[in-house]
Amino acid sequence: MLYRLKNAGFQAYLVGGGVRDLLLGREPKDFDVVTNASPEQVRGVFRNCRLIGRRFRLAHVHFGSEIIEVATFRSMQDVGSTAERSSEHNGMLLRDNVYGTIEEDVLRRDFTVNALYYNIDDFSVIDYVGGLQDLEQGTLRLLGEPHTRYREDPVRMLRAVRFAAKLGFKIDQACEHPMRESGALLAGVPAARLFDESLKLFMGGTAVQSFEKLRHYDLFSRIFPETDRCLSYQEHEFPITFVMKGMENTDIRISEGKPVTPAFLFAVLLWEPVRRRTALLVAGGMPMSLAIHQAGGEVVAGQIQHVSIPRRYTMPMREIWNLQHRLENPGAKRSRRLLAAPRFRAGYDFLLLRALAGEVDQELADWWTRAQENNEPARSPELPGVGDKPRRGRRRRRKRPESSGDR
C-alpha cells in the first residue's frame, strides 16, 4: 500500500501502533497509514477502497478480510484559529478535521511512542518527538502539556493505562500526575466510546494489569462506579478476588486462543453490585429469583449510563446472573433441565469462579462438574443437603421413558 501511494506521487507512512509494535518485536494488531493524499485521491489509487466518516473522512482499504485505515495528515491548530475548527467544549476536542502536513500530524498524536512514522522512501523511522528513546526506555509520554491533552480527550488516560498494561511500560510522571483529578473528565465521554475502550482494556490479553492500574489511578471508579464502591467497601475478600480471577481467566483464555465473550466479562465486573442489591431485595421480602432479576436490571441500567453495553451482551449477562440462584439449588430433576439451559455453560463457568473466590462452596461447583460428566444428576446425590431437598407441591410422573442420547 505504501508503495502504491508513493508510486502514485504521494507521501505515505506507516504510523501509530503498527510502527511501535514492530519496533518492539510484537505483532501489530492493525496498521494505520497516513498520507498527504486526500481521501478521494486515495480512493483513486485503490479499487478496494471505501470512504468512511462524515466530518473527517478516512479511507478503508480492504485486503480480503483485512482493513487498513488510511488517513490524510491532520493538523491540530490553536483552538479558534480557523473557522473550520469550532472545536472547543470545556477544552474537549469535538473535531479535528483540518488537513495538514506531517509536522502538524505528529502533534495531534497522543504518546511519543505512537508518533513514529515509517518512511517507505528510505526505510527510515521519522521521529520528531523522541519516541524512539521513550520506546527503548519503556516510557509512555504524552506530547504537549498533560492537563491540556487529557482535557482535549480524556480517553487518553485510559489509553495510557492500556498501553502501560499491554507493553509493560511506565507512565511518565508528568502524565501520571494529573490522572487522579482529571479522571472526572471521563464523565463527558460518550458511553459508546467508553464501551469500545473497555473492551480494549479487558479483552486485550492483559485484563489483570489493566484492572489494577485503573484502580491505582482511580479511573476504574469513573467507568464502573457502582462496582468500585462495592469493592472499596471491604466486607470480605471475595468480591475483589472474584473480579481478579475473572480477569486472570480471561487473559489465560486469550493466550490459549480460546474465545472470550464481553458478556461474561461484564457479568463478572458487575456481579458484586448485583449480588448486593439482590441481598437487599431479598431482605425486604422479595423471592430470590425475582430479586436477582430486578437487581440485574437495575445494575445494568445504571452501568450503561457510563459504558453503553449493547443489549446483545446485557441479555446473556442477565441470564448468567439469573442462573446462579438456580445453580445454587440443584434438585435432581431441575438439574437435568438446567444442564440443557442455553447459558448453562457460561453460568457454570461463572459459578466455578465464584467458588474459586470463596463466595460459594467448592463442593457445589464440583457437584455440577460431576453432573455434567455423568449427565445423570438424579443419581449423583453426593452433595449433602443440596441435591436431596424434600419436595413440596405436585409430583409428576414421566410418561415417556428417558431417551439415553439426550445430551
The residues annotated with a catalytic role in the active site are 30, 32, 110
Task: Determine the 3-state secondary structure of 90 from DSSP.
Answer: coil
Shortest separation between residue 65's beta carbon and Mg ion, angstroms: 17
Nearer to Mg ion, 73 or 344 (CB): 73
Which of ligand ATP, Mg ion, none lies near 114, with the C-beta cut-off 5 to 8 A by kind?
ligand ATP
For ligand ATP, the closer of residues 155 and 327 by Cβ is 155
C-alpha grid cell, residue 359:
463466595
At closest approach, how far in Å is the CB of 163 from ligand ATP? 7
Asked if 154 and 119 touch (Cβ cutoff 8 Å), the reply is no
Other CB atoms within a 10 A radius of the CB of residue 149 amount to: 22
Question: Considering only residues 43, 141, 156, 306, which one is a binding residue for ligand ATP as defined by CB under 6 A?
Answer: 156
CA 252 to chain centre: 15
From candidates 4, 7, 9, 30, binder to Mg ion by CB under 5 A: 30
32-35 and 66-72 strand pairing: parallel
Task: For ligand ATP, give the closer residue by CB, 153 or 319.
Answer: 153
| Cβ proximity of 383 and 330 under 8 Å | yes
Q: How far apart are CA 378 and CA 366, in angstroms?
A: 15
- Alpha-carbon gap, residue 15 to 145, rounded angstroms: 22
Write out the binding residues for Mg ion, residues 8-27 only, by CB under 5 A. 17
In the list Mg ion, ligand ATP, none, the entry touching 155 (Cβ below 5 to 8 angstroms by class) is: ligand ATP
Least distance (Å) from ligand ATP to the CB of residue 215?
Answer: 21
Q: How far apart are CA 230 and CA 153, in angstroms?
A: 28
Longest Cα separation, the chain: 82
Q: Stretches 130-138, 153-161, 170-178, 354-362: which one binds ligand ATP (CB under 6 A)?
A: 153-161
- Is residue 144 close enough to count as binding ligand ATP by CB under 6 A? no
Asked whether 290 and 243 are in contact (CB, 8 A), the reply is no
Q: Which of 43, 17, 32 is nearest to 73 (CA)?
A: 32
Q: State the binding partner of 153 from Mg ion, ligand ATP, none, CB within 5 to 8 A by kind.
A: ligand ATP
Residue 171 C-alpha cell reads as: 507512565
Of 30 and 402, the one with the shorter C-beta distance to Mg ion is 30
**Whole-angstrom Cα distance, residue 117 to residue 105?**
10
Name which of 71 and 292 has its Cβ closer to Mg ion: 71
- Angle between the N-to-C axes of helices 288-303 and 271-283, in degrees from 0 to 180, rounded to the nearest 10: 140
Out of 32, 105, 134, 228, point to the residue binding ligand ATP (CB under 6 A): 32
Among 11, 36, 72, 110, binds ligand ATP (CB under 6 A): 110
Cβ of residue 13: shortest distance to ligand ATP, in angstroms? 11
Residue facing Mg ion at closest CB distance: 17
Distances from the Cα of 402 to the Cα of 139, 265, 376, 405, angstroms: 64, 36, 11, 9
Instruction: Candidates 43, 109, 213, 293: give the one binding ligand ATP (CB under 6 A).
Output: 109
From 6, 17, 51, 77, residue interacting with ligand ATP (rule: CB under 6 A): 17
The residue count for binding ligand ATP (CB under 6 A) is 13
Closest to 321 in 3D by CA, of 340, 298, 305: 298
Shortest gap between Cβ of 30 and ligand ATP (angstroms)? 5
Q: Which is nearer to Mg ion, 29 or 389 (CB)?
A: 29
Return the closest-CA partner of residue 319 out of 354, 292, 281. Answer: 292
Binding site for Mg ion (CB under 5 A): 17, 30
Binding site for ligand ATP (CB under 6 A): 16-17, 29-30, 32, 108-110, 114-115, 153, 155-156
